[in-house]
Amino acid sequence: MKKTNLFWILAIVITLISAFYQRVTGPSYPLSGKINFDGKEISYKLERSQETVKNYQIEIETGDEAISGTLFWRKFNSGNDFTAIPMTGSKKLIAELPVQQRLEKLDYYIQLSKSDKTVILPKEKMITLRFKDPVPIYILIPHIFAMFFAMMLSTRTGLEFFNKEPKIDKLAFWTVISLFIGGFLLGFAMNGFAFGEVWGGWPFGKDVTDNKTQIAFIAWLIAFYFVKKNKNAKLAVLLAAIIMIAVYMIPHSV
């Protein structure tokens, strides 16, 4: 019983770490940082994903009314000159990027100025904003829950490798079911609402998020086959769990 509880705790901890990692990585997570400009520390948080329902309003808190700002933007990969938009406000600078169609992208950056001094935000000199359609909350929440529930079950099932008398039949079954529901049924709905395409992975496309989901699912289907055949089941589920963890280490929305 103690070992079983320990395995569940480990599975939950690994899942929570994975959830945090997924939250802060990938091209859709906001880019944030701090710079020192003329002796004043300025924090920024710049979005890389925006819904197609409104302009993206950028706010930079400078705390110094002598600092002015200019927002520069252009269509992604267009090669066009940047459009310059003076930022309004005092101590808090505000400007808006115009809303775009689904899947369209904008490159942008901000220049802060004071007297003869200038600085560019972000430090990377450029940031890309991708537009997507909104996803209904009744699809989004179950999708997220199902995917991380599948991750927890996958890890927990893999840990049965270290049990002398492993009980993996039900764990493996529910891992496959939850991964199918979260990654495919709800995943299709997510993609359809956000991007107008239910599947962007192999064999129709090269979307990394879809492809990694497919790899994890195939790995677990193979593992479940070995479980039902009762051949090398412990090793099969351990390998499938490791593949699942490796898949989750690939940043989301690549």
Per-residue pLDDT of the chain (254 residues; tens, 9 = 90+): 688 899 999 999 999 998 888 877 777 889 999 999 988 899 999 999 999 999 999 999 999 999 999 999 999 989 899 999 999 998 999 999 999 999 999 999 999 999 989 999 997 778 999 999 999 999 999 999 999 999 999 999 999 999 888 889 999 999 999 999 999 999 999 999 999 888 888 888 888 888 999 999 999 999 999 999 988 899 999 999 999 999 888 876 65
Q: Which of 93, 112, 132 is the endpoint of a domain?
A: 132
Distance between CA atoms of 117 and 21, rounded to whole angstroms? 37
Helix (H, G, I), strand (E, B) or coil at 230: coil
Domain match, 117 and 160 both: no
Q: What are the distances in angstroms from CA 163 to CA 26, 153, 224, 248?
A: 36, 16, 18, 25
Question: Residue 102 sits in which domain range?
Answer: 38-132
Domain match, 119 and 145 both: no
Helix (H, G, I), strand (E, B) or coil at 119: strand
- Which residues partner with 69 through β-bridges? 112
Domain match, 6 and 123 both: no
Number of folded domains that form the chain: 2
Instruction: Note whether residue 85 is domain-resident.
Output: yes
Domain match, 52 and 20 both: no
Instruction: Note whether residue 147 is domain-resident.
Output: yes
Backbone angles phi, psi at 18, to 5 degrees: -65, -40
137 Cβ contact partners less than 8 Å away, ≥ 6 residues apart: none
Q: Decide if 7 contacts 160 (C-beta within 8 A).
A: yes
Domain match, 187 and 221 both: yes
Model confidence over 101-148: pLDDT tens digits? 999 999 999 999 999 899 999 977 789 999 999 999 999 999 999 999
Instruction: Note whether residue 31 is domain-resident.
Output: no
Enter the pTM of the model: 0.84
